[in-house]
Amino acid sequence: MRMLKSLAVILCSFLVVTECNANLVEETCKKTQNYNLCIKCLNSDPRSSTSDLNGLALIMVNTIKLKAQTTLIKIRQVIETIGDKLTPPQKQTLNSCTTNYNTILNVDVHDAYIALQQGNPRAAKDGVNDAATKGSTCENDFSRKFPDGIGILGDTIKIMNDVATVASNIIGFLTP
């Protein structure tokens, strides 16, 4: 009987913690610029159910990484499939975006992640804002250089930018 009571206490404690974290996700996302995207990103990661605010920010930084990787793959696919049909300015745009997304992955996301782990949200916010700026630059260049605008890449660039904005919002909540 004592064992059963202990198990019940543990189960109830787990449910309370899970409920509190569900509320943290909800309340945090309500304060961002894109509630639906925030909820979608955080609820798709099981770590969010046990994360504090810093943990939610780390999840969003990881999501930037995943979206940037997807975008970089699509850019490379465009180069491989229609590269010979592109004008020099279009090729330059693709090369510039490749460079930007490599920097997002290898510098901005890395720096933001490390900064969050070290308790430096200001530096983390700088990293995700840099990622958003590079993504926006690429998005703007595409819309000017390609007749289809960014349609050639689908909505991957816009999604990455939106995720970076939400991450910046969440990291901003960590800054006093």
Domains of the chain: 2-174 (1.20.140.40)
Q: How far apart are CA 135 and CA 147, in angstroms?
A: 19
Question: pTM here?
Answer: 0.84
Q: How far apart are CA 167 and CA 174, in angstroms?
A: 11
The pLDDT score that the predictor gives to residue 82 is: 87
Q: How far apart are CA 9 and CA 173, in angstroms?
A: 33
Statement: residue 8 has pLDDT above 50: no
Write the pLDDT tens digit of every residue in 92-135: 999 999 999 999 999 999 999 999 999 999 999 999 999 999 99
Q: Where are the alpha helices (H) located in 31-52, listed in sequence order?
A: 35-43
Statement: residue 13 has pLDDT above 70: no
Q: What is the mean pLDDT of residues 130-159?
A: 82
Q: How far apart are CA 92 and CA 80, in angstroms?
A: 14
